[in-house]
């Protein structure tokens, strides 16, 4: 295939013998190497009209061996539109990610639920047909049986304490300034802050279930008798 660089226009692509594609730049008034091309890195090289890198070398690795057809204006326009579309698509994706992050941040929290449900008796049911809004809201549904079993121990433990508080408090209503805690030997006893019969730390707290020290003490004795375990 004969090469005639006089037919080239600025910007036209040329392929060298080594496979690299270069770009035609301009025609210079040089007696032997009047054609200037450039590589992607901006480095310019000059050639003979027949595409030779060295005029006296008939087959050099850097010779021009192919002239690519000139792109039409339509092809260039399509390429520009495609590039703009890709840029806009990328920007749209970034905005969607930002919007999603804003939505996740603003989305109100709702409780998750699983296939294992702890009912009020402490039993674990895995029938999802029994799943109700109250069960989810109260946090009695769990993704694993192990988690449900742990929660069952918690629920029944505090249900028993609330029941004892209702039985032993003078008013018959759970709530007060005293609670039952476990010591290092895992035995239950009334909460006694610094040797006093009153703990301001747990005053009016949901876990302070007993109105008097005596009621909390009696509850601890019952819990020990019935061999309740520490959570």
Tens of pLDDT, residue by residue, the chain (231 residues) = 688 999 998 889 999 999 999 999 999 888 899 999 999 898 999 999 999 999 888 889 999 999 988 766 667 778 888 889 999 999 998 988 888 887 777 766 565 667 777 776 677 777 655 556 666 666 777 878 888 888 887 788 888 888 888 999 999 888 888 878 777 777 777 765 433 433 333 344 457 888 888 998 898 899 888 888 755
The pLDDT of residue 25: 93
How does DSSP classify residue 62? T
Whole-prediction pTM: 0.41
Domain ranges of the chain: 5-67, 116-225
C-beta separation of 174 from 215 below 8 A: no
User: How many Cα neighbours within 13 Å face the side chain of 136?
Assistant: 13
The pLDDT of residue 197: 39
How does DSSP classify residue 127? -
The pLDDT of residue 64: 92
The pLDDT of residue 196: 40
* Long-range contact pairs involving 19-25 (C-beta distance under 8 Å, separation at least 24): 21/68, 22/64
The pLDDT of residue 133: 65
Question: Is the Cα torsion angle 34, 35, 40, 42 positive or negative in sign?
Answer: positive
């Amino acid at each position: 295939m004969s090469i005639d660089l006089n037919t080239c226009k600025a910007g036209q692509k040329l392929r060298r013998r080594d496979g690299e594609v270069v770009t035609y730049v301009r025609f210079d008034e040089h007696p032997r190497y009047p054609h200037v091309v450039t590589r992607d890195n901006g480095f310019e090289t000059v050639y003979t009209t027949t595409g030779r890198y060295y005029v006296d070398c008939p087959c050099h690795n850097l010779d021009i061996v192919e002239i690519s057809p000139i792109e039409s204006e339509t092809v260039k326009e399509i390429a520009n539109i495609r590039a703009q579309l890709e840029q806009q698509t990328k920007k749209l994706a970034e905005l969607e990610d930002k919007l999603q992050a804003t939505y996740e941040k603003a989305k109100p929290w709702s409780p998750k639920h699983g296939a294992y449900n702890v009912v009020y008796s402490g039993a674990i049911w895995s029938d999802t047909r029994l799943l109700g809004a109250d069960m989810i809201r109260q946090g009695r549904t769990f993704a694993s049986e192990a988690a449900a079993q742990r929660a069952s121990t918690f629920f029944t433990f505090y249900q028993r304490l609330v029941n004892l508080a209702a039985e032993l408090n003078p008013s018959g209503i759970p709530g007060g300034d005293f609670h039952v805690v476990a010591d290092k030997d895992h035995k239950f006893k009334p909460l006694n802050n610094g040797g006093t019969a009153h703990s301001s730390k747990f005053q009016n707290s949901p876990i302070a279930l007993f109105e008097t020290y005596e009621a909390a003490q009696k509850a601890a004795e019952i819990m020990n008798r019935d061999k309740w375990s520490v959570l």
